[in-house]
Structure 1
Amino acid sequence: MKPNLLTIRQLSINFGGPPVVDRIDFDIAPGEVVGIVGESGCGKSITMLALMGLIDAPGQVRADKIFFNGQDLLNASPRARRKIIGKDISMVFQDPLSSLNPSYTVGTQIKEVLRQHEDLRGAALHARTLELLDQVGISDAKNRIDSFPHQLSGGMNQRVMIAMAIACNPKLLIADEPTTALDVTIQAQIMQLLVDLQKERCMALALISHDLAVVSQVARRVAVMYAGEIVETNYVPQIFEQPHHPYTEALLTAIPEHNRGAKRLTALSGVVPGQHDRPPGCLFAPRCKYRIDACEHARPPLAPLKVGAVRCIKPLNLQSAADTPAASYFTS
């Protein structure tokens, strides 16, 4: 069995108060596609930003372990981290227009990545930039290379962001809601581009998304986040066919395809708890239709099942007693 490409243990992030991300354990194998799902405010994006070293003060990031490709990122020097971040680990952000610099052409911005990490210069640098634009499906690359972001459509700018992200052949690509700001027809094209690039380059892909339908088609494994915690992990299609956490079940129930013929879409009442209104027990308990008294007082750990793991006192859809987590739920 190959070692994990990425291993994160007990990652926590806070901004001077209670943690907004609390004791995250996360793994990605080489070449694996992992979907990270959950409502807005659940901590999906900020977890990956912490990995990239993009949490600014007063944010504080703590962890027991962050290993990437056998290297200790937690204790690496800033110089050593710069050799990895942007080269071996890269990220595609939600809104390309806010991520690209409006003062420079898209070609200049791609070239900067190649200069920094690949030490390319001159004709080789220009040729490689044109090649990347062509690989991400930008037609007439010779003319587009001198365009500014405002001169391109949203879909084109997202393709430029992807070109920058894959420029150095990363081992791990993080795609943070890469189609959110795009038209529906363009969304499918961008997702297909990411899938094709992942397969061609055999790179690992962490896909942050609200679109469970896309995740079910693309990902090998899914991590469900709620209020800064991972509440369930499992493989596809098991997590969609037999979810073990009530929150996962609620997300699946709210999919429009599951509400055909109904007068109204099924909705999950309530909101994700904020930094200063977190309940003392299970964080999902105030919104959970299965809650019992113990849920109000016990903070369950992410306990392994026979397949996958779940953070719940009474997991759903367990086939037998042998599937029940052995770990004690009543931990702080």
Structure 2
Amino acid sequence: MISGTSMLLDIKNLAVTFGSGHDPFRAVSGVDLQVAPGEIVGIVGESGSGKSVTMLAAMGLIDAPGRVTADQLTFAGRDLLSMKSREKRAIIGAEISMIFQDAQSSLNPAYTVGDQLLETLAEHQNLKGAAARARALELLEQVEIPGARSRLSAYPHQLSGGMSQRVMIAMAIACNPKLLIADEPTTALDVTVQAQIMELLVSLQRSRDMALILITHDLAVVAEVAHRVAVMYAGEIVETAPVPQVFATPRHPYTQALLASIPEHSKGASRLNTLPGVVPGRYDRPSGCLLVPRCPYAEDACSRAHPELVLVGDAQARCIKPLDDEGKPRA
């Protein structure tokens, strides 16, 4: 575990609730997450598991009727929950930046690449005129866009998916953030471009010594670049551990199922390994462990009580019987 005094981002008991009245829906519940300076943390899980909502909540980007609560939500020792809106605006987009899913949809189609970069620089660094344009060109060159000068006057529809993603990365690093959140940064890109984008992100992370939170479905990427991983299911973190340990000895049945579904693990089989069922939604959530309907190890006790995160070596797992080194429930 990382010392609390060294935390860049420290989240404890985060919850995100949508709706009001007698039937609110808690999309994220009880999330604890810590990120140290310069650390790469992967957040993995199926669609609908709460990965993106968790990070949007941390950045203060959940609008009404959504409600965010937490016992602690601090960034570099500053309390984001009690912070005034003006102070928070000075941090979000500058010290904390986020690359959203689908870059081509995130860019404004009515403005050129240069205009959108200049707006970011004017808002957070008070750069204008020739100095701002020079900085914008420098940023495009840093993200390895060919013909960077000509791209300043290009509109988003004139860019490929990979180029658009590089522009989004340039905007995200424009203010030298301490923390960069990348939400599925390679979605909808071909395999070759995916590898290039990930290589670029890791290179920028290392050269700037910034923390990186990588939200992804791709466990192979997490294995290659991340230091720690948090596995989410149905709005909760069900396991968190150093990356080597998660891949060698997963402690939660859901993590084990995710790893088994990697195609390389099904070589020679007639079918890929799968976990039957879907992530529970608003109206079909079990009262005990949320994985019960899909878990191959479920027993009666799993349906009676909602499990807490328990410490298993260097890992934490939300299971009444975390898996042992052989991949079986502990007695």
Bin the TM-score by the shorter chain: over 0.9
Kept in 2, the 8 Å contact 1:269–1:287? The answer is yes
Query: What is the identity, as a one-letter code, of the residue corresponding to 1:145?
Result: L
- Structure 1 residue 305: Cα displacement: 2.2
Kept in 1, the 8 Å contact 2:183–2:215? The answer is yes
In structure 2, the partner of 1:253 is 260
In structure 2, the partner of 1:10 is 13
Alignment map for 1:1-332 (pairs within 5 Å): 3-16=6-19, 17-318=24-325
Kept in 1, the 8 Å contact 2:289–2:307? The answer is yes
- Structure 1 residue 30: Cα displacement: 0.5
2:216 & 2:149 partners in 1: Cα distance?
33
- Structure 1 residue 64: Cα displacement: 1.2
SS of the residue 1:14 aligns to: strand
Query: What is the identity, as a one-letter code, of the residue corresponding to 2:245?
Result: Q
- Structure 1 residue 318: Cα displacement: 4.8
SS of the residue 1:278 aligns to: coil
Deviates more, 1:157-166 or 1:13-22: 13-22
1:317 & 1:212 partners in 2: Cα distance?
21
Kept in 2, the 8 Å contact 1:94–1:181? The answer is no
Residue deviations 1:101-136 (CA, integer Å, cap 9, x gap): 000001110111110111111111000000000000
Residue deviations 1:160-218 (CA, integer Å, cap 9, x gap): 00000000000000000000121111000000000000000000000000000010000
Structure 2: gaps of 5 or more residues: none
In structure 2, the partner of 1:328 is none
Residue deviations 1:222-264 (CA, integer Å, cap 9, x gap): 0000000000000021100100000000000000000000001
2:118 & 2:311 partners in 1: Cα distance?
45
Kept in 2, the 8 Å contact 1:136–1:163? The answer is yes
1:15 & 1:144 partners in 2: Cα distance?
40
- Structure 1 residue 23: Cα displacement: 1.1
- Could you state the TM-score of these two structures normalised by the residue count of structure 1? 0.95
2:153 & 2:311 partners in 1: Cα distance?
52
Kept in 1, the 8 Å contact 2:14–2:68? The answer is yes
- Could you state the TM-score of these two structures normalised by the residue count of structure 2? 0.95
1:306 & 1:143 partners in 2: Cα distance?
53
2:243 & 2:59 partners in 1: Cα distance?
27
1:293 & 1:117 partners in 2: Cα distance?
55
Task: Count matched residues.
Answer: 320
2:188 & 2:225 partners in 1: Cα distance?
20
- Structure 1 residue 18: Cα displacement: 2.8
Kept in 2, the 8 Å contact 1:172–1:204? The answer is yes
Query: What is the identity, as a one-letter code, of the residue corresponding to 2:138?
Result: E
- Structure 1 residue 307: Cα displacement: 0.8
Query: What is the identity, as a one-letter code, of the residue corresponding to 2:285?
Result: R
Query: What is the identity, as a one-letter code, of the residue corresponding to 1:85?
Result: I
1:298 & 1:258 partners in 2: Cα distance?
33
- Structure 1 residue 86: Cα displacement: 0.1
Runs (4 or more) in structure 1 with deviation over 4 Å come to none
Identity of aligned residues (%): 63
Query: What is the identity, as a one-letter code, of the residue corresponding to 2:149?
Result: K
